[in-house]
Structure 1
Amino acid sequence: LTVASSFQSQNSGTATVVLGTYDLRWQENSRQRFFLRPISENGYDPQENLNDLLLLQLDGEANLPSRVALVPLPQQNDTVEAGTNCQMAGWGLKSSHFPRVFNVTVTPSDQCRPSNVCTGILTRRGSICQVRAPHGRRRGLERSG
């Protein structure tokens, strides 16, 4: 799962994901690299910045040793209560060697603003949860999945 806005500039088959490593500079035994392809368009609207989610598929089967785990996703139309603490993680920009981890708190839907990452408003398609990015900025979350 990633943000659709960062994947739009990628040619299908050139975007990659790395599993099983904390530092991208090291070749750990658990490291796995896959090419990605989009499998689920979610009605992304770049003008309104709505539904900025994209489901991706690996070009191979991932092994799940102790350093690689699946992230459970909520069921369709599930909501997350305002005030719930969540964690978002990803490598961010390509030049980053370590994953970026953000602790975020789910905000009420009436407080969602354009500077927020808002995906839990049930009147919009593709809802999962709604969070507020640190310092009201999305920049650190771009290209994170």
Structure 2
Amino acid sequence: MVFICLLLFAALLPCLGHSASINVGIVNGTEAEPHSRPYMVSLQENGKHECGGFLVSENFVMSAAHCWKNGVNLTVVIGAHDLDNYNYFRIPVKFYHVYPGYRRLKNDIMLLQLEKPVQRSRTVEWIAIPKTNKDVEANTICSVAGWGKIAFEGPYSSRLLEADVSVIETETCKRDWGNYFSESNMMCAGSGRGFCQGDSGGPLVCNNIAVGIVSFFENGNCDKPTVPNVYAKISQFLPWIKEIINDLQ
């Protein structure tokens, strides 16, 4: 049995038969072209990177629900490439919309309502999400990016890294993850590249559309995983997403 543990802000939660890591860095990836992913944001606590996220409108960032603990104030950093450069903007979070059905690995999605709308620029832009509840075909080449660790025992990356990953068949995900995988609201991808601690909440991007949210991976083994990385499937949550965003309009 593969053991994975859910990591929340670097704190290890009790292990499950399969466990997942929160605060998941890009492994076997390369540095992204600066500002080629202007939708990417860094979620920070007290000036320290904790998770990734991505702009889906001028007022909202999407991320993984496990990236926030009640009572913690996160700051959204937009327009960044090198977090050590400080050439970016910080925006406080006005409200945390956690999906009502979130339970550890399940329904791992939240929307962060920003204190003020962001302005489009060369370094700041939001990304499209699916319009219908349609699955991405297996073997589709997608990409993932983040400022997380480059190896499980390695350092965090100050510069945005990216990697191409291949969508894995649902049957393979179910076989490898068992009861921890939900066919209806999860998807997985792999190919020897993927995420690690600190990448949680970032988007899985296929054909310029954010289709998944970095959720969990095999505990202690993001370097050479034996099972695929798992993402929350955004299309499954469209009614809830539209309700939250439209209520602000």
- Please give the secondary structure, in 1, of the residue aligned with 2:127: coil
Alignment of 1:21 with 2:80, yes or no, is: yes
Q: Is the 8 A contact 2:165 2:193 kept in 1?
A: no
Counterpart of 2:97 in structure 1 is 39
Change (3 A) 1:53 1:132: same
CA distance in 1, matches of 2:78, 2:177: 31
Alignment of 1:5 with 2:63, yes or no, is: no
1:114 aligned partner, one-letter code:
W
Q: Is the 8 A contact 1:42 1:54 kept in 2?
A: no
1:99 paired residue among 157, 160, 165: 160
Taking the TM superposition and a 5 Å limit, the aligned residue runs for 1:41-120 are 41=99, 43-46=101-104, 49-92=105-148, 96-112=157-173, 113-114=176-177
Q: How far apart are 1:108 and its partner, in Å?
A: 1.2
The runs of at least 4 consecutive aligned structure 1 residues that moved more than 6 Å come to none
Structure 1's unaligned 5+ residue stretches are: none
Change (3 A) 1:42 1:131: farther
Q: Is the 8 A contact 1:38 1:55 kept in 2?
A: yes
Counterpart of 2:225 in structure 1 is none
Counterpart of 2:211 in structure 1 is none
TM-score using structure 1 length? 0.71
Q: How far apart are 1:139 and its partner, in Å?
A: 3.0
CA distance in 2, matches of 1:141, 1:74: 25
Change (3 A) 1:138 1:24: closer
Change (3 A) 1:102 1:4: farther
Q: How far apart are 1:23 and its partner, in Å?
A: 0.8
Give me the CA root mean square deviation.
3.1
CA distance in 2, matches of 1:42, 1:132: 26
User: Which 10-residue stretch deviates more, 31-40 or 71-80?
Assistant: 31-40
Change (3 A) 1:38 1:53: same
Q: Is the 8 A contact 1:102 1:134 kept in 2?
A: no
Higher strand share: 2
Q: How far apart are 1:2 and its partner, in Å?
A: 1.3
Q: Is the 8 A contact 1:89 1:144 kept in 2?
A: no
Percent identity over the alignment?
25
